[in-house]
Amino acid sequence: MKMFWQLAAGLCMFQSSPSTAELTPAEQTIAATVDAEFERSVSLLERLVNQNSGTRNTEGNRAVMAMLRPEFEELGFTVEIIDQSEVDRAGHFFARHEGTSGTTRMLLIGHTDTVFEPDSPFQSFERDGDRAIGPGVVDNKGGVAIMIAALRAMHAAGTLEGANIVVALSGDEEDFGEPAELSRRDLRQAGEWADVALDFESLVIMDGQDMGTIARRSSNAWQVTATGNDGHSSRIFSETAGDGAIYELVRIISRFRQELPEPNLTFNVGLITGGATAELDAQGVRATATGKTNIIPPIAIARGDFRTLSAEQTQRVRERMEAIVADHAPVTDATITFDEGYPSMAPTDGNRALFERMQAVNTDLGLAPMGLLDPALRGAADISFVADLTDGIAGLGANGSRTHAPGETMDLSVIPRQASRAAILMSRLSAESYPED
């Protein structure tokens, strides 16, 4: 599979030089359809945004899925809502389109949920020209609207008919249900089926240049709990009292800062507490503690995350953190635990070759070449769960500002070029046979 994409990259670079680049009649229809249906796409986006679908809002996510069902069924997709009540989540929206046997199998990825729950004051869509403000307007309802615009354009041009596509829209991308073995089971199965994965998360623009994403780092949460003897502060550092829990926790965090740094790794301490008593709430986001200046603290807790570019790096960093935690200060103890997180999407040769295919589309559309985004500038996403199974590219969705914050804003002017890019790329891929490994 990877060898195919390396060869394809070289071929498309040769075949898509500016002197020979052009759109086929079907591709011209795609671009024209996307432009003509711009307001229809914005109208769909408005309806999606005005329906709250915070990750924990099961009924809201299902309402969004109900809005999407006719959009896909009209294009010949078979829709399935996959129940996820076993992990306390709303479920997943899967739409399948069976095309010509033997052609490239494509997995399109997005999500229906947002970070804005029903109690958020930020709830409605507002438009001001080419700017739209609303919860999830960029992440990821704008991406879903762009995906549908691309598929409608393919349908109008006749290139969707032969395409083999599975659309996977999760209802819990912002806070996936655990264990991932269950909540990402169907996505993994689709990744095993697919030849390529196309992720409709947000487009990054830097200095006016659209950026392509072929790698995303992992997201891993950790918690360190340090313990020690309590007692009168006048005995601190003595043979019987030892260093106390807070000094032990500080030692650990200081050594993380000194010994962990390496390329493509970041690590953060997001919450810390300690004292005579200390505890975190069930979600690990709030802390309570008591203590006095003259009491040696017997407990201290810290939570944080670390992000890596490969599974090998994740394992290596975990082992180093565990070794640091195990090297205890006098008369103390400490443990480290890791929550289930998002895996990484490594920058493979296959991903690079797929990016070159999209560069050829840019050339033929008369768009400026895209840059490659530094993976340190992207968070984790659902495509990472299939990155070890198939070639992939991300960033085919919306662009804007204040993502995950009140006032989230989308630049509506990106819809035509993003939808045309995606539709033409999918049309070209769907016309090709994909050789087995």
Residue 183 and residue 85: Cα distance in Å, rounded?
A: 10
Residue 237 shares a structural domain with residue 90: no
Averages of pLDDT over runs of 10 residues in the chain (437 residues) are 43 38 91 98 98 96 98 98 96 96 95 95 96 97 98 98 97 93 97 98 96 95 97 96 97 98 95 97 91 97 95 95 96 95 93 96 96 89 95 97 95 98 97 70
The secondary structure of residue 103, as a DSSP letter, is: B
Residue 62 shares a structural domain with residue 207: yes
Q: Is the residue at 435 inside a domain?
A: no
CATH code of the domain covering residue 312: 3.30.70.360
Q: Give the SS3 label for residue 13.
A: helix
Tell me, what's the pLDDT at 21?
56
Residue 46 and residue 31: Cα distance in Å, rounded?
A: 22
Q: Exposed, middle or buried: residue 104 (CB in 10 Å: 0-12, 13-18, 19+)?
A: buried
Bridge pairing between strands 231-232 and 277-280: unpaired
**What's the number of CA atoms in the CB half-sphere (13 Å) around residue 380?**
25
Residue 48 shares a structural domain with residue 154: yes
Q: Exposed, middle or buried: residue 282 (CB in 10 Å: 0-12, 13-18, 19+)?
A: exposed
Phi, psi angle pair for 323, to nearest 5°: -65, -40
Tell me, what's the pLDDT at 59?
97
Q: Could you tell me which of 173, 99, 231 has the C-alpha nearest to residue 381? A: 173
Q: Could you tell me which of 392, 437, 409, 361 has the C-alpha nearest to residue 150? A: 361
Render 125-148 in DSSP notation, one character per residue: -EEETTEEE-TTTTTTHHHHHHHH
Q: Supply the range of the domain harboring residue 324.
A: 220-338
pTM: 0.86
Q: Which of 338, 372, 403 is the last residue of a domain?
A: 338
User: What are the tens digits of pLDDT across the range 237-248?
Assistant: 999 999 999 999
Q: b/e string for 136-155 if b means 16 or more Cβ within 10 A?
A: bbbbbbbbbbbbbbbbbbbb
User: What are the tens digits of pLDDT across the range 272-317?
Assistant: 999 999 999 988 889 999 999 999 999 999 999 999 999 999 999 9
For residue 249, the tally of other CB atoms under 10 A from its CB is 29
Q: Is the residue at 437 inside a domain?
A: no
The angle formed by the CA atoms of residues 19, 14 and 101, to the nearest 5 degrees, is 115
Tell me, what's the pLDDT at 101?
86
Q: Could you tell me which of 306, 343, 344 has the C-alpha nearest to residue 322? A: 306
Q: Could you tell me which of 170, 119, 131, 120 has the C-alpha nearest to residue 45? A: 131
Question: How many domains would you assign to the chain?
Answer: 2
Residue 277 shares a structural domain with residue 323: yes
Q: Which of 321, 338, 355 is the last residue of a domain?
A: 338
CATH code of the domain covering residue 158: 3.40.630.10
